[in-house]
Amino acid sequence: MTQNAPGKSHRKGLSLVEIMRRFPDDATAEAWFAENRWQDGKPHCPHCGSTNVLSGASHKTMPYRCREKECRKRFSVKTGTVMEASNLGYQTWAIAIYLALTSLKSVSSMKLHRDLGITQKSAWHLSHRIRTAFEREGGLFGGPVEADETYVGGRRKNMSNAKRRELKDTGRGAVGKAAVVGVKDRETNEVRARHVAATDTVHVAGFVAENTKPGSKVYTDEASVYDALEPWYDRESVKHSVSEYVNGMAHTNGIESFWSMFKRGCIGTFHKISEKHLQRYVDEFAGKHNIREADTPDQMAGIAADMAGKRLRYRDLIADNGLSSGARS
């Protein structure tokens, strides 16, 4: 019997028993990935795009070969996706996607390491590659839109005096933390969020403008960085500084609810998130929020399809980009 997700009785969920029945081995999982990647039923060469492909080639890991004279390259379902060059089996990948999607506050690499029987290093790389599949682009929101920002990092009360002096901490909660700005469309309930270098007009108001149609209603708090929106948007704000959180239709409760779930993952699952990798965690939570009404099998199929055209090599994952590497989670 299919298990319904708590609080979402209209959704079709999947139990652990059902997921193992769906993917009893690598061959079954490989066929599922192929079905979702090539939805027209024809393998497409990831190198040249041709459908003139030989299937079932006698090769241990590359069962497809392009027949085009200019190409003639071998490939697998993994080639040209986030799974490329992975030694993990297709069954492991399918179950990992299931665990990531059905864990509201996400799943740590340590749990994946134990549940999947792989090393923590492989689980860490695997989880970030799955997060890469959540990267999506969309059109402009028609509004009404809620906009807000949040901060990710250590708590001030846990910092030493030396650390506070190093950060020139003046008591503001944002000091020494990474900033994330987000918008939520009330019409579709879709959320988009981005890690930004600074909470100034260019980064904050600019992000809102990049995702919202001019003339739309925009609800914010009283932060001055949103003032730049007013010539092009119908902005209303609430004054959090005087404990005003709702004024008619003006509030940011929707986007703040998303921040709350994201923070629960930061604190309860990962404990520490590196600024270097922060955007992928943000993409994961926004992506799961945006598909939360879909049935679990459809969510999984969507992620499998969105793996194509994306790649995250381990050397790129650990490369020094000037930000703190933080703890693996």
Which residue range forms the structural domain that includes residue 263?
A: 145-273
Would 176 be classed as within a structural domain?
yes
Q: Which of 69-83, 154-168, 170-184, 216-230 has the lowest mean pLDDT?
A: 154-168
Q: Find tokens 């260019």 and name the residue.
A: 202
Give the whole-angstrom CA distance, residue 296 versus residue 15. Answer: 10
Residues 164 and 256 in one domain: yes
pLDDT tens track for 5-23: 445 667 788 999 999 999 9
Structural domain tally of the chain?
Answer: 2
Average pLDDT value for residue range 311-318: 94
Q: Quick check: is 302 in a domain?
A: yes
Write down the pLDDT at residue 311: 93
Q: Tell me whether residue 73 is in a domain.
A: yes
- 327: pLDDT strictly greater than 70: no
In terms of domains, do 114 and 206 share one?
Answer: no
- Domain co-membership, 288 together with 304: yes
Residues 244 and 314 in one domain: no
Residue with tokens 């393998």: 43
Residues 107 and 205 in one domain: no
Label the pairing between strands 74-75 and 53-55. Answer: unpaired
Statement to judge: residues 29 and 125 lie in one domain: yes
> Are residues 116 and 45 located together in one domain of the fold?
yes
- Which of 273, 293, 320 terminates a domain? The answer is 273
What is the pLDDT averaged over residues 224-253?
Answer: 87
pLDDT given at position 277: 95
How is residue 42 written in tokens?
């024809």
Residues 149 and 269 in one domain: yes
Specify if 10 maps to a domain: no
- In tens, the pLDDT along 47-71 reads 999 999 999 888 888 999 999 999 9
Residues 184 and 300 in one domain: no
Q: How far apart are CA 201 and CA 46, in angstroms?
A: 41
Nearest to 99 by CA among 76, 122, 77, 131: 131
The two structure tokens encoding residue 116 = 């999947």
